[in-house]
Structures are given as C-alpha cells and as structure tokens.
Structure 1
Amino acid sequence: MSGMQELRNTLQELTEQYQGLDAIPGLGAEEKHAVMTDTYQQSMTPLLATFESLQDENSRPESNHERWFISTFRDRIQAALDSLRSPKTWDNLFEGLNMLRDIGVDIGKELSGARVLQLSDLSPDLANIQSSLIDIPSPKQGTGVTIQSFEQQVVIIPTKTKPKKLTLIGCDGKRYTYLFKGLEDLHLDERVMQLLRITNGMLRRDKDSCSRELIARHYAVVPLSDSSGMIQWVENTVSIYTIIAKWQHRETLCARWMNDDSPAAPHPAPQRATDVYHEKAAVALKKAGLPPNHPRRQWPKSILLDLYHEMASETPADLLEREIWSSSPTPGEWWRKSVRFARSTAVMSMIGYVIGLGDRHLENILIEFTTGDLVHIDYNVCFEKGKRLRIPEIVPFRLSRNMLTSLGLTGVEGNFRIGCEQTMKVMRKNKEILVTLLEAFVYDPLVDWQIETTTVQGGVGVGGAGVVGFDSAQGSIREGHSGLILDSENESGSVSGTNIRDSRSSFDANPSTRASSIRRRLSNESLISVSSTSIKSMTTTDSNSKRWNSHAGDQVDSTSSSGTLSLLNQANQQQPQPSQHLQQQQQPPLHQRNVIAVNILRRVRHKLEGRDFEAGKKCKVPEQVDRVIQEATNVENLANMFEGWTPWL
C-alpha cells in the first residue's frame, strides 16, 4: 500500500485538470472526454503497472496463507483496479482509491496484534525440512550443530515490519530461536557483531579486563538478502521501554480506579510520552509568543530545558533499578546484577562512543534480569549518522536518568567508570586493529550515508512511542526539507549547491512512501557509494596505516602484537561479502566515494588516540572517559535530544 499517497496525488491533479476544462470556451462534452481519457491513461498507466505487478505476483499462491489472502481479498482488489483503469465518471475519480483504502484497513485489522501461525501454512518447504546439513547460525564459530527441523508455530510480532519469530530444532535436541526480519538490510548489524567479537577477544586477552569480566553481549545476525535476514533471539531479556510502559499503564489504571466509580469499564490506552511532550511544547511556545510550527532546531534553550525538567518530574528515575531489585531473591544477587549492569553498560558505552552508535532509544536497549547484563540491538545508525539527523543526536551514548540510577550505589564512579577506562584503554592499545577492521565497514557499500540519515526520526515506532514524522503536526515543510540534507561539519565534506525540491504532498505520505520518495530525489546526490573490492586484506596494517596517513595527516604507530593481529586474521576469514545488487551499482569517482569514509575513519582514529576534543591535544584515558560521561549526562545535551528518544527517562 506504499504507493497510495502517490496515487492520491495523481488523482487529485486529474480532478483539478478536469474541472479546469470547464473554463475553456467551446469545448464540448465529447472533446472533454477525449482529452481526459488521453490524460488519464498517460498519468495512471505507470502507477497501475505497479499495482498490477503486485497482483500478478500474488496470483500464484504457494502456501495456504497465500491462498487465504487471495480468496479473501482478490475480488475486492480486482474491483478496485478495474475502477481505477476505467472510472465510471470523471466527477469521482477516487472510487477505486477508496476501495483500496478500505482493503488496507481490513488487512491492517487482520495483522494487528500478535498472531501465531503454522509454518506449514506459510512455507511448506521449511516445515518439511528434516535432518539437514545446514549449520545453526551462532555467534560462536564451528559449533557443528545443524538444523534438524523447524518448530511448527510461528509468532508474528505486532511491530511496523511484522517480523516473524521462528524456532529451529538443532541436531543436539536444543531449541534455537530467531527473528526473521523483512524490509531491512542487516549487513551492517552483521559487521558490528563481528566488531564486538573482536573487541571481546581483546578484552579477554587483557588481565584486568578479564578479571572484571568486561564483555559486550552480541548475537548471531544472518543477512539473507539486501532487505531481509535473521537475528538470534536474545532469551530472558526485556526492553527498558517495556518496563517504562508497564509502569505508565499501572499508574494510569490506578489513577482511573481512584477517580472512577466503575473501574471495570474500558478505558483508552495511556497517553504516549511524545504526545504529552508535544502538548507541553505547544503551551510553552504559545507562552513565548512563537507559532506552534516553529522549527524545532530554533526553539529557545530555556523552553527545551523547561520541557525536559517537566517531563522528568513526572517520571521516577528508579524504575529500572527497582525492577533489578525485584528480580533478585537475595541482597547478594542484587549486588551481582548491579555490578554486571554497570560493567556491561560501560563496555557498550565505550564501543558505542568509538563507532558513533546512535538511535539508542529505550526499545533498542534490553536487559537480561537473570544476570543484569545490558544488551544493545539495531546497529543501523553508526559512525555518527545520528549527528546528521533532522534533530542531531549530541550525546556520545545513552546514560539517562533510569540507567544512571541503576549503576549501583556509587553511580558513575566505581564499577562503571573503571569499566569505561579499562575498555577504552584496551581499545586504544589495539587502535590499529580496530581502525583496519572499521576501514572495511565504511568502505563496503552497505549504507548510503546521506539517504539513510533521513529515515530514523521519521515514521512510527522510534522508542516504541509512535513519534512524529518529517511533517509533524507542529513541524513545518521548511524543517522537513532541512532533514534531507546532511549538515556540514567542520571535518567533513560539505554538501553545497544541493537543490532538492519537494511538495507538501510528499511529506504527507506514510513513512515508507516518504523514504522511497526521498531516495528517488537524492539518487544522484549521495556523496559515497563505494566497492569493497578495493579491500584486499584486513591484515596489511602497515600499508593501510600509511594510506590513511596520506588522507588524514595523522602520525600512526603501526606496531601491534602478533597475538592481537591473529584476531584480525580470524575476522578476515569470516568477512561477509557485499551483495550482488550493491556491487552492480554504478560507482562515482574515487575521490567522491572517499569523502565521507575518510572523515569517518579520521573521527574513529581521533577517539582511539584521545584527540576527540581540542584539536591537537591528546588526553589520557581517564580524562577522555570523564569528558564523554559529562557529555552523556549533561542536562542541556539531553534537553536538545529528539523527543522520540525520551531523554528524560
């Protein structure tokens, strides 16, 4: 249904053209009909071809579920397309569109909520697999466990892309659960998992880090195509957002029961945090004499700070801490979980800081209550892409109120700070290995850095709170346009002379339509589209270091221990290949492809050398860690964060 908005716009234009024919003197009814018929066919044929292609693809069912869909909706879809091909009257061109919209509503009702389907109804081939030779995907290499069969029940998760929860039975008799995701490229997630494995190896080789059990939790990621893949299900975890949402639900019910004589009566769902924020923002802007659509980036700091403090005052800062305490049967167990939480948070905070990991809303951060470990998911916003969003992410990692309170009695001191310093010390010691590994990441054509940055804060589902899109009710088209262009940074190539034209209608589209529209408009504006074929080996540390010296003007110590270098050799053997589709894309000139990659690696190198702050000044590990902790907890920084990030929680 992603083409519905474009279809609506076209029909609206045709309606206006038909009405304009009345102003032409001497134009008879037959001539009007002939003009409209010709214009209608020229405008609608390309659009209808897309719908007809989808109809053709679904006309040959291969499973019971596809047969159900065809039997339920085929006749209605056919009637809608017939109405669009040959409208009954030029006065009402929207009849077919309205029919498609009604079909979409009914499909949405069928898909709403969690559902459990039979694998045999979805994929008979997978359901019939027995004793295969295919290895079970695992973060550990060479387990030797193969797929014995698939469990028959498939759980459909009621989120935006409707991922499927699958369970595989291994030849060892154990159950392995994975999430199959469509409409998403998981290649970058796979590469980051590789980075986490290499970093864990470095931490295990360090005596102090090993004694503190500093480790980054990771999981298996298996890209199956450019737009689908499987992610290992992390058992016994829950997102921090879920904890906050349950508290909000309990508070709402308690308040209604105390003030309602009939507590059993149905009530609407609790108000979303972002909706509350927008209501308060509208009041604050009006009080300051500013229009409700005043660009978000131009809001006064005083308003942002007041909104942050007001939202924070309405939400406890110890919700996560109380959940950890409640899950612990003894004080000793609570202490162990608090220590594990602080240390795992420290490791991921430093790794996230180095690779510029963004989009750390509370649904992308999980906690395992059996151990206290923190687990991050969704690594699509890396290498400081968050700083180029419509509302830039200016904190190096997430350490908001509830996470800060859960670090234990000493807060950021003690286990957390020591864990941060130890992790950063190990990463700085092995900087050449990490830079060489990351070189392959940024030079592999997995992400269009310019296009991708426009989609994270648009649409629904960020932070699980249904945040506003590019053209929120309180936004403006001018602000939406500013989100399409990468901001110039002091150290990066600026985007100058970019002329992007858009219309109000394109910002009214749903998220997928907006994204596809933006991709079409920016298809020739990307600064980088590179091929990984230039990366012949990730073990040539000296040559890579010299090459980056020529780009960045940095003096590099290219020495590294043979033991650590073996980790890189192992990574090279496991290096996934870029997709065929991406390899076939036309490449711009080399200097144009490299402009962002060079600056990404320069930023990473500066962080790993302690030169991330004042130019030319190299700070020691404790000072560097202290600076990033201050930035992550600075109230002004948090107040400027995107409201869908819920920085006050």
Structure 2
Amino acid sequence: LIRVAILWPEEWNQALEEASRHFFQDEKDIPAMLRAVEPLHEKLEMGFETEHEREFIKSYGRDLKSSAEFLRKFKETGQEDDIHQAWELYYTVFRRLCKDMQMVKHMRLERVSPALLNAQNLALAVPGTYLVGHPIVRIGSFESHIKVIGSKQRPRQITIRGSNGKDFQFLLKGHEDLRQDERVMQLFGLVNSLFAQERETNRYDLSITRYAVIPLSQNVGISGWVPQTDTLHQLIQEFRKQRSVLLDIEQRLMKKLAPDMEQLTVIQKVEIFCHALSHTTGQDLCKVLWLKSKNSEMWLDRRTNFTRSLATMSMVGYILGLGDRHPSNLMLDRASGKIIHIDFGDCFEAAIHREKIPEKVPFRLTRMLIAAMEVSGVEGNYRSTCENVMRVLRDNRDSVMAMLEAFVHDPLINWRLLTPNQNDVPESSSIASNSDLSSIDGSSSQGSLDGSSFLSPPLLTEKKLKRSDTSPSSALKGNIRAIRASFSDGSVIIAPSRSQMKKTLPTIPDDKPQEYDNDDQNMSNINEQLNNQKLRPRAMTEGFLKNWMDAANKKDDPDSTTVGSIQTHRERDRELMQKLRAEPGAANPEMLNQRALAVIERVNDKLIGRDFGGDESLTVPTQVQKLIVQATSYENLCQAYVGWCPFW
C-alpha cells in the first residue's frame, strides 16, 4: 500500500522540489540537496520490481543516471559547473514528470503492485470494521482498478473486498501524516460515548460522524471513504454554476475596491468585507438543502440534523483547538443533512498562533451556515445544542483531559506543537475550479477535490529556461516548482504588473443584495462587468498573490520579481519531522514539555469557563454566547485568509 501511495514519479517530484529549495533558496545548501536526491539514486540503481518502475527507468533512467554522475564528479572536484549540469537534467526530468503525472487518472494494480493484487483471503480485518463480539470481516482481495484523485497530493481511491462479499472504499493518502487524525477520531469516540450517557444529548441523538483512519507510515495512511457526501465547496460551486453566477463573486467584489486589501487597516477591511456581503445574498447553502429534499418533511429533518451536527462540532472543535475549517474540509451528508469534518492537521489552536494570516475565530460560523438554519438562525437549535454539548464536556472534564493529555504527550505527534515555521501558509479551499473557472486565456486551474488545495507555485519570468542557458539557476530563480505554473501547451503564466493590478474597475451601484435567480438582471450585469476585467490568471491563488505583491513592494521592477515557494502545513510538517530525525538534539524535550503544558492549560481553561480571562468561571450560556459573537464578528472574519472563504 505504501508503494502504491507514493510511486517513483511522485517520489522524484517531491525530492526535486525539496532539493531545489535547498540549492536555490537556502543559500546553496548543497549537503541538504544531496540528502534529498541521493537515496532515490541508490534505489534506482537497485533496479525495478514492478512494470511501472520498469517503465519509469526506461523513460527517465538515462537522464537521472547522467545527473548522478555529475553529482559524483562534483563531490570529487568541487566544481559547481558539474552541479549546474546535473540541475539542467533534473529540470528536464521534473518538467516531464509534472506533465506525465497530470495525465494519470487511473492505475492498474497489476502494474504498480502485483504482490498486493495477489494478496487474497488475508487474516487482517478490513480497516475500520473490527468490533468486539462481532464476526470479523477479513480482507478478501484488492480491486485491481485504482482511481487517482486530481488534487495536489494525488490520493488514490482503492476498494477492498471483504470476506462477507461487500466492497469497502478507502482513500489511500501519500505525503500526509495521519497519526494526528487517528487520535482525533479516538477523541470523537470518547465524546460520542459521553453523549450517549447524558440524557439531554442522547435524547436528540447527538453524535460526531467518524471514519476509519489507519496510518501506515509517517507519510502514508488510509482514511475511510465517507459515501453519499459532498463538500460545501462542491455544493456551492454546483449551485452557482447552474445559475451562471461566478464562484468567486465575493472575492472579485472585494478586489475591485481594494486590490491590496492585505495592506489595509482592520476598519477598512471590515468596510470592504461588508460591501461584498451586501451585494450577494449568501443563500446558496440554504437553497441547496431545500432543492435537494424530496418533500418538506425531509427538508425539515435535514435542516435540524444540519444545525445540531454543526453546533456539536463547533463546541468539540473549539475544545480541541481545531482550525483550517474551509469549505472543502466540511462535508454534507446527502441523506441525513449532517455536517462531517475532515482533515485534522491543525489542532490545539495551531491556526490561531500562525505568524502569517492567523485565524481569529474559534470555529466556522459564517453567513451561509447561519442562513441554512433558516428563521431561527443561531438562536434556536444551534444555541441550545451548543450549550448541551459544552455542558457535557465540562461535566466530564477529567475524562476529556485524560484523553487530550495522552494526545499532547504522544512522542509520535507532539513535535507538531513546536512553534510553526514563519513561512507556513494555511491550506485553503480552492476558489478556482477546473470545471467551471478557467483562467483569462482559457486555461483551467487545478481544483480541490479531497479537502486539500492546490497552491500555485512561483511563476517563471518571461524568459523560459532553455537547455542552452549558461546557468539554470538564473532562470529557475529559486525554485523548480515554477514549472507547475505552466500550462499544458508549454506557455507560461506571467504575473501582472502592479500598474495593471491597480487599474480602475467599474463600480457597482449600492443597492439591494443581488438574488441568484436566472431572471435577475442586476446579477447578470455584475457578472458581465467582472468578466470583462483583466484580473490575474485564476491559476494564481490568493496565497501566491499575497507573496507576489509583498515581493513586488520590495523591488523596483515588479514585473521581473519571482517569488519563493509557498509551503502548506503538510510540507512544513514533513520538513520538521525530517529535521528532528536527522538531529537527535533538535527536539528539545524541555521546549516540547513547555508547549505541551501550555496546550493542556489552555484546554483546561476552556473546560472550566476561564478561557476569556478573569478569575471567575463563566456559565455555559455566557461562554457559548461569547464564542458565537467571536465566530460571527466581521472584524474577525475579514482578517481570514481569502481561501478560507469567510464570505461564504
């Protein structure tokens, strides 16, 4: 399974990204660069074991062997010309890899892992099915067809046939550490048992939807496939596409008034944020729930389940310090209407303590979620459920604290508690989608399909790299990941100049909020006006745009500015873990213990009602009220990362 999760092309792709970062950005850290690529060269010399690996050697083996020879000469002579020759070959390989990987949508198990295909009638239970006192459903076989999901990390959808004849679907994830997600699922199990024991929560059948999470290694794992669900991003995207409404209309409205919104004061950001909200209704999710229900009784049941499940996870997520709740990390069950959360990489308020674009809200409670609760808003089922859940958690504080203390002090995952790297950027819901949002010249951007976002890498300058160039480092300008910004036809995205970014755009009359009906002429006019603007290519995400603007402010000629790569928290985790393994003394136990104690103290304060300061504990209703005010504050929401979609 680990072999299938990360194939040789992806291993080399990741290694070359990391090596280029060390060589071109970290002041030519050649030892680190060599540590990134040499293990793969050694693996290549050992030969292939599968048909897929044989084809990889046939396609790339010659160039990689030549680059390894140049690295060997460099280690003997110390001549940098040799290492530049190696990078010319690496660049060629990387460019071909990016193009070839994007074309792979399906795999056959016999080509990538014959051993797994031949593994039948195993003694192992199907992941997530084992229950004490129940018959064991063992692994019968693995389906030969594997679907590759086209998001950044390219997870695989696999099917395991159980001994009972049923098929079980899973998501096989590479380049991600799922050990923390596994612990979060254990916490949810404890919380569900507490809900079942309390009369008030059991009466309303409150529970958190869980799914199997099985880490296979530090960067590979399996998570259960939740059937009959859609992310909120997908639902909103589909709803707006059917009505010819721009998916990123709020974002465009804000950019029209303030292209450099990141430089504004909080008061100015609130004004821009309110302007975008006033020209859109935010009724998308509300109407989705209504339109997808067969009758009013089913709609009422789904709306109630939606409200209660959202409130339950709001309180539990707050205690856990769960962040990064963008629309692609919240899923809606088609049958029940319950909200299901995925991706638990940011826990213990890691998102709040980020240096770049920290989150200001305790949980997600944006206007679309409130509108979907209909007439009562947060004052009906939502508030009462929040109070019931918080009361149960506070009454069972000792049990929750015991679980979280073991969680925090677990040596396998407590390295995440270290101070976040100042270069980290939150993962986000991709506003642009490959299905309905294309860039200005017609090329489509990469959409998010499994909760992770495709962060655009730095862009190449206008001059493309040619093999005849004297030094590839001058054209790469810091990072080989720039290749991903090029289109499939070989053309390169060029960042717009600052003068282009600040061109005056037509204004929108300040009138009533615009409806999304097909006969609404006002919304059509807004869409037409926005479509006619020469905005940035949509393949550039807001994360890159901010860095590009920051870098442009420091340069005399912004058109020639090339920006360094943006790291997601998953990439940061991998680098930090590698550093801790390479340097035994790097993980200072005292530093980890201090951070762990601070986390435990913060969780304890939440569970006794002292999380807002003061010597006296707040009552449950007062605590819930303060949290709702915080979560719905425009002052907090307007400071969120735009990919978090605070306007949704």
TM-score normalized with structure 2 length: 0.71
Query: For residues 454 and 168 of structure 1, do their structure 2 counterparts lie closer, same or farther at Cα, with a shift above 3 Å needed?
Result: farther
Per the alignment, residue 475 of structure 1 pairs with 550
Q: Secondary structure at the match of 1:283?
A: coil
Which one has a bigger Cα radius of gyration? 1
Q: Do 2:254 and 2:272's aligned partners in 1 also have CA atoms closer than 8 Å?
A: no
Per the alignment, residue 346 of structure 1 pairs with 311
Shift of 1:311: 3.6
Shift of 1:102: 3.1
Q: Determine if the alignment matches structure 1 residue 304 to structure 2 residue 253.
A: no
Per the alignment, residue 135 of structure 1 pairs with 125
Q: Do 1:458 and 1:470's aligned partners in 2 also have CA atoms closer than 8 Å?
A: no
Shift of 1:622: 1.3
Superposed, which structure 2 residues align to 1:384-399 within 5 Å? Answer: 384-389=349-354, 390-399=356-365
Q: Secondary structure at the match of 1:166?
A: strand
Per the alignment, residue 221 of structure 2 pairs with 229
Q: Determine if the alignment matches structure 1 residue 56 to structure 2 residue 39.
A: no
Shift of 1:394: 1.2
Q: Do 2:123 and 2:138's aligned partners in 1 also have CA atoms closer than 8 Å?
A: yes
Q: Determine if the alignment matches structure 1 residue 102 to structure 2 residue 92.
A: yes
Q: Do 2:250 and 2:280's aligned partners in 1 also have CA atoms closer than 8 Å?
A: no
Superposed, which structure 2 residues align to 1:387-426 within 5 Å? Answer: 387-389=352-354, 390-426=356-392
Per the alignment, residue 34 of structure 1 pairs with none
- Aligned partners of 2:61 and 2:620: how far apart in 1? 64
Listed one character per residue, the Cα deviations across residues 569-620 of structure 1 (whole Å, up to 9, x for unaligned) are xxxxxxxxxxxx79x9558665433211111111111111111113112111
- Aligned partners of 1:170 and 1:11: how far apart in 2? 49
- Aligned partners of 2:80 and 2:126: how far apart in 1? 58
Per the alignment, residue 231 of structure 2 pairs with 239
Query: For residues 111 and 623 of structure 1, do their structure 2 counterparts lie closer, same or farther at Cα, with a shift above 3 Å needed?
Result: same
Per the alignment, residue 326 of structure 2 pairs with 361
- Aligned partners of 1:99 and 1:473: how far apart in 2? 28
Superposed, which structure 2 residues align to 1:624-643 within 5 Å? Answer: 624-643=623-642
Listed one character per residue, the Cα deviations across residues 235-276 of structure 1 (whole Å, up to 9, x for unaligned) are 11111111233345445xx47xxxxxxxxxxxxxx7867974
Q: Report the AA paired with residue 232 of structure 2.
A: I
Q: Do 2:322 and 2:347's aligned partners in 1 also have CA atoms closer than 8 Å?
A: yes
Per the alignment, residue 607 of structure 1 pairs with 606
Q: Do 1:342 and 1:408's aligned partners in 2 also have CA atoms closer than 8 Å?
A: no
Superposed, which structure 2 residues align to 1:76-87 within 5 Å? Answer: 76-82=63-69
Superposed, which structure 2 residues align to 1:447-462 within 5 Å? Answer: 447-450=415-418, 452=420, 454=422, 457=425
Shift of 1:203: 0.4
Query: For residues 191 and 82 of structure 1, do their structure 2 counterparts lie closer, same or farther at Cα, with a shift above 3 Å needed?
Result: same
Query: For residues 130 and 4 of structure 1, do their structure 2 counterparts lie closer, same or farther at Cα, with a shift above 3 Å needed?
Result: closer
- Aligned partners of 2:31 and 2:605: how far apart in 1? 54
- Of 276, 279, 283, 1:318 maps to 283
Listed one character per residue, the Cα deviations across residues 473-532 of structure 1 (whole Å, up to 9, x for unaligned) are 1235999xxxxxxxxxxxxxxxxxxxxxxxxx99713537995699579968xxxxxxxx
Shift of 1:85: 6.2
Q: Determine if the alignment matches structure 1 residue 623 to structure 2 residue 591.
A: no
Q: Secondary structure at the match of 2:383?
A: helix
Q: Do 1:459 and 1:511's aligned partners in 2 also have CA atoms closer than 8 Å?
A: no
Q: Report the AA paired with residue 625 of structure 1.
A: V
- Aligned partners of 1:166 and 1:608: how far apart in 2? 40
- Aligned partners of 2:149 and 2:566: how far apart in 1? 20
Shift of 1:368: 0.8
Query: For residues 633 and 79 of structure 1, do their structure 2 counterparts lie closer, same or farther at Cα, with a shift above 3 Å needed?
Result: same
Q: Secondary structure at the match of 2:374?
A: coil
Q: Do 2:22 and 2:33's aligned partners in 1 also have CA atoms closer than 8 Å?
A: no
Query: For residues 308 and 135 of structure 1, do their structure 2 counterparts lie closer, same or farther at Cα, with a shift above 3 Å needed?
Result: same
- Aligned partners of 1:375 and 1:121: how far apart in 2? 35
- Of 165, 189, 200, 1:197 maps to 189
Per the alignment, residue 218 of structure 1 pairs with 210
Query: For residues 422 and 585 of structure 1, do their structure 2 counterparts lie closer, same or farther at Cα, with a shift above 3 Å needed?
Result: farther
Q: Do 1:117 and 1:153's aligned partners in 2 also have CA atoms closer than 8 Å?
A: yes
- Aligned partners of 1:391 and 1:645: how far apart in 2? 11
Q: Report the AA paired with residue 594 of structure 2.
A: V
Query: For residues 3 and 405 of structure 1, do their structure 2 counterparts lie closer, same or farther at Cα, with a shift above 3 Å needed?
Result: same
- Aligned partners of 1:513 and 1:406: how far apart in 2? 31
Per the alignment, residue 383 of structure 1 pairs with 348
Query: For residues 470 and 80 of structure 1, do their structure 2 counterparts lie closer, same or farther at Cα, with a shift above 3 Å needed?
Result: farther
Q: Which moves more between the two structures, 153-162 or 313-322?
A: 313-322
Shift of 1:376: 0.2
- Of 143, 161, 164, 1:151 maps to 143
- Aligned partners of 2:573 and 2:394: how far apart in 1? 42
Superposed, which structure 2 residues align to 1:492-641 within 5 Å? Answer: 508-509=564-565, 511=567, 515=571, 519=575, 585-586=584-585, 591-641=590-640
Shift of 1:12: 10
Shift of 1:631: 0.9
- Of 283, 295, 299, 1:334 maps to 299
Query: For residues 506 and 516 of structure 1, do their structure 2 counterparts lie closer, same or farther at Cα, with a shift above 3 Å needed?
Result: farther
Query: For residues 362 and 13 of structure 1, do their structure 2 counterparts lie closer, same or farther at Cα, with a shift above 3 Å needed?
Result: closer
User: Which consecutive unaligned segments of at least 5 residues does structure 1 have?
Assistant: 15-41, 256-269, 286-295, 480-504, 525-580
- Aligned partners of 1:612 and 1:152: how far apart in 2? 52
Shift of 1:114: 6.5
Query: For residues 146 and 640 of structure 1, do their structure 2 counterparts lie closer, same or farther at Cα, with a shift above 3 Å needed?
Result: same
Listed one character per residue, the Cα deviations across residues 534-589 of structure 1 (whole Å, up to 9, x for unaligned) are xxxxxxxxxxxxxxxxxxxxxxxxxxxxxxxxxxxxxxxxxxxxxxx79x955866
Q: Report the AA paired with residue 433 of structure 1.
A: S
Query: For residues 129 and 375 of structure 1, do their structure 2 counterparts lie closer, same or farther at Cα, with a shift above 3 Å needed?
Result: same
Tell me which of the two structures has the higher relative contact order, counting C-alpha pairs closer than 8 angstroms and 6 or more residues apart.
2
Listed one character per residue, the Cα deviations across residues 34-84 of structure 1 (whole Å, up to 9, x for unaligned) are xxxxxxxx9868745643431331342222222222222222333455566
Q: Report the AA paired with residue 99 of structure 2.
A: K
Per the alignment, residue 283 of structure 1 pairs with 259
- Aligned partners of 2:104 and 2:250: how far apart in 1? 24
TM-score normalized with structure 1 length: 0.71
Q: Secondary structure at the match of 1:448?
A: helix
Q: Do 2:181 and 2:344's aligned partners in 1 also have CA atoms closer than 8 Å?
A: yes
Q: Do 1:397 and 1:632's aligned partners in 2 also have CA atoms closer than 8 Å?
A: yes
- Aligned partners of 2:600 and 2:81: how far apart in 1? 59
